[in-house]
Structure 1
């Protein structure tokens, strides 16, 4: 069970990181040797966080939402 909790925490952290790294494609981030932990977690939650971010930017550009807020552990 502790392994599962650790993997979930890692996955959530990666999703926050990818969401906040808007300017770089996910493949570039995963190939960066400074971020080896992005290769450990499941890819689907991380990809979904990127889709959520793209939707947020689209809604902002079309005046349907306020500016996006970068994710932190506290939000």
Structure 2
């Protein structure tokens, strides 16, 4: 890999780190909202939807972390 392509990949990492942090914050906020729901809401449709959102955010977070790792491997970090 030449220097220019390596630099382009290295420039992506801070952007992906920022995206990862944003997803983590949203996930944490959603988890806090779920945790602060009355139990009757947690067990109902609203709680189920919140759990689905949290799971989706966890999945997105995992994929971003995988992308970061793959890019680091590509440039030998």
Structures share a fold, TM > 0.5?
Answer: no
* Higher helix content, 1 or 2: 2
The structure with the larger Rg is: 2
Q: Normalising to structure 1: TM-score of the pair?
A: 0.39
Which protein has greater RCO, CA pairs closer than 8 Å, 6+ apart? 2
TM-score (normalised: structure 2): 0.38
